């Protein structure tokens, strides 16, 4: 067992890790799916559809499951959301479609829309059925920067229309957040890559890896060489604690921790502390904390500066963390990292409260949590690459109109680089809307 201080790999056996990182939402059996589908009221003006960012006809796809038409159900989903399989696994359905379900009352639970969506899309993918045909080639070529959900959703829709798409991706694998940033127990068994391969099966899409905007590519040149450009840039920057964390071993960004977990087949090689402190209140913080526990950490504390209602992590995620042994502490902010011989040994926190003006303030009350590993998850930021042409940016995000067009002619954007919820399903919708606008533009039905 490799060990540095009290951060060690191999804390659990292979069997224990396999159980810990198994699918957190096991799929429905056929009988279970039929029973669950029968619970749907098939509302005419369904609130669940209004709550879905991609506008999937939820009653329509559930009705097809109820009648045994799984292919038709899957097509109904994928017509609006080509990432329907992963969204069924990672979407916060409890605050989106299921949260809006008319059966979501004190007396009964909502229809399990996410699991039903997974049931249909998994059925199609397992049979390697390609439900869409590519139209005749148009001779138009579009550049997509970023092979995440936004970029690939845009590419797929454009390829369906017969356009040629070249996707430029900085990393060695496609998928963006699904590949690198989601907890391993949410997207298991290489599903993220299989879904991308399924998407690419339509043809007309080529991905070039190791290509970074501002380094290997310039926006001006892309505009010259292509009929349109879509920017599906994620949030590459992470916020620092500002506590001289670089000086101490054992302090790491949670995003990097999660990415390493996602890209390591043998979880026994992943080192984790015995006592882990995670700082933050979003889903990234939850994912890091839960996975630290699943790797064998004995004590995991997640500390957030405000109350549970202000956490961006959903209530389901918070409850899930507690069920997995994570202790969540509220109203505390880190003020100092403690260390011994260059290795982190704890974190000093200040109790926080809201002042008369509503602003968060630090009190004089302090407490210390011992830790041999500290994971920072206080937020990610969008960083516009330094390139020859830059679209208008406000509030740290690229400004777009309803069609996701930027201030630059023939340049569109979507996903985490524009304002809006940082959700996979929203990124897919952005890519889809931009593709439709690009197609109208290239068809002469929209002014650029």
Query: DSSP characters for 49-103?
Result: HHH-TT---HHHHHHHHHTT-HHHHHHHHHHH-TTHHHHHHHS-TTTTHHHH-TT
Check residue 242 and give left, alpha or beta (phi > 0: left; psi -120 to 50: alpha): left
| d(C-alpha 320, C-alpha 305), whole Å | 20
> Which tens digits make up the pLDDT trace of 106-138?
999 999 999 999 999 999 999 999 999 999 999
The span from the CA of 384 to the CA of 379, in Å, is 16
Q: Model confidence at 2, in pLDDT bands (50, 70, 90)?
A: very low
Provide the 8-state DSSP code for 416. Answer: T
Cβ neighbors of 208 (< 8 A, separation 6 or more) are: 166, 167, 168, 169
Percent of the chain past pLDDT 70, that is, above it, reads: 98
* CB 382 within 8 Å of CB 237: yes
CA distances to 33, 100, 115, 273, 294 from 43, in Å: 19, 12, 19, 50, 40
Indicate the length of the chain as a whole number.
Answer: 448
Q: What is the percent of the chain with per-residue pLDDT over 90, rounded to a whole number?
A: 95
**Tokens describing residue 346:** 């704890």
* b/e 76-85 (16+ beta carbons within 10 angstroms → b): bbbbbbbbbb
Please write the tens of the pLDDT for every residue from 15-52: 999 999 999 999 999 999 999 999 999 999 999 999 99
Q: Cite the DSSP H helix spans in 127-278.
A: 149-160, 177-180, 191-200, 219-225, 254-262
Name the residue with tokens 């960012």: 53
Q: Is residue 1 pLDDT above 50, yes or no?
A: no
pLDDT in tens, 416-425: 999 999 999 9
Q: Strand 228-231 and strand 141-145: pairing?
A: parallel
- CB contact set of 44 (below 8 Å; sequence gap of 6+): none
Q: Assign 245 a pLDDT band (cuts: 50, 70, 90).
A: confident
Grade residue 358 by pLDDT with cuts at 50, 70 and 90.
confident
Domains, in order of start, for the chain: 30-126 (1.10.1060.10), 141-235+382-442 (3.50.50.60), 238-379 (3.50.50.60)
3 state SS of 147 = coil
Across 316-341, average pLDDT: 97
Is residue 244 scored above 90 in pLDDT?
A: no
Q: For the range 43-46, what are the long-range contacts, defined as Cβ-Cβ under 8 Å and sequence gap of 24 or more?
A: 43/102
In 263-359, which residue ranges form alpha helices assigned H by DSSP? Answer: 283-294, 315-323
Among 341, 334, 332, which Cα is nearest to 372's? 341
- CA nearest to 51, candidates 118, 105, 116, 113: 113
Q: What is the pLDDT of residue 447?
A: 55
Mean pLDDT of 65-78: 98
């Amino acid at each position: 067992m490799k060990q540095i201080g009290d951060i060690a790999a191999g804390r659990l056996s292979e069997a224990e890790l396999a159980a810990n990182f198994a699918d957190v939402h096991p799929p429905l059996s056929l009988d279970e799916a039929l029973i669950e589908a029968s619970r749907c009221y098939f509302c005419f003006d369904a609130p669940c559809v209004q709550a879905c960012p991609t506008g999937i006809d939820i009653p329509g796809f559930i009705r097809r499951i109820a009648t045994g038409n799984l292919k038709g159900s899957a097509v109904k989903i994928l017509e609006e959301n080509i990432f329907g399989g992963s969204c069924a696994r990672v979407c916060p359905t409890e605050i989106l479609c299921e949260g809006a379900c008319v059966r979501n009352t004190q007396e009964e639970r909502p229809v399990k829309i996410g699991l039903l969506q997974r049931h249909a899309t998994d059925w199609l993918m397992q049979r390697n059925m390609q439900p869409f045909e590519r139209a005749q080639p148009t001779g138009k070529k579009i550049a997509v920067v970023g092979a995440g959900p936004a970029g690939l959703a845009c590419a797929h829709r454009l390829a369906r229309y017969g356009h040629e798409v070249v996707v430029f991706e900085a990393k060695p694998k496609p998928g963006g957040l699904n590949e690198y940033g989601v907890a391993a127990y949410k997207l298991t068994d290489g599903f993220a890559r299989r879904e991308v391969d399924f998407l690419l099966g339509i043809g007309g899409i080529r991905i070039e890896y190791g290509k970074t905007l501002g380094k290997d590519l310039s926006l001006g040149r892309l505009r010259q060489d292509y009929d349109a450009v879509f920017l599906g840039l994620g949030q590459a920057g992470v916020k620092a604690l500002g506590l001289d964390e670089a000086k101490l071993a054992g302090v790491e960004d949670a995003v990097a921790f999660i990415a390493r977990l996602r890209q390591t087949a043998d979880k026994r090689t992943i080192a984790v502390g015995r006592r882990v402190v995670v700082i933050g209140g979003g889903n990234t913080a939850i994912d890091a904390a839960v996975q630290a526990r699943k790797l064998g950490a004995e004590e995991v504390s997640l500390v957030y500066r405000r109350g549970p209602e202000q956490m961006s992590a959903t209530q389901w995620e918070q409850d899930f963390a507690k069920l997995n042994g994570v202790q969540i502490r509220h109203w505390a902010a880190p003020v100092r990292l403690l260390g011994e011989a260059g290795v982190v040994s704890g974190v000093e926190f200040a109790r926080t409260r809201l002042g008369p003006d509503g602003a968060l303030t630090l009190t004089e009350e302090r407490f210390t949590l011992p830790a041999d590993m500290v994971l920072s998850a206080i937020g990610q930021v969008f960083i516009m690459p330094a390139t020859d042409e830059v679209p208008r940016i406000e509030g740290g995000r690229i400004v777009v109109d309803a069609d996701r067009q930027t201030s630059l002619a023939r340049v569109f954007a979507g996903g985490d680089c524009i304002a809006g919820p940082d959700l996979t399903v929203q990124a897919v919708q952005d890519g889809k809307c931009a593709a439709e606008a690009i197609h109208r533009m290239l068809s002469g039905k929209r002014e650029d």
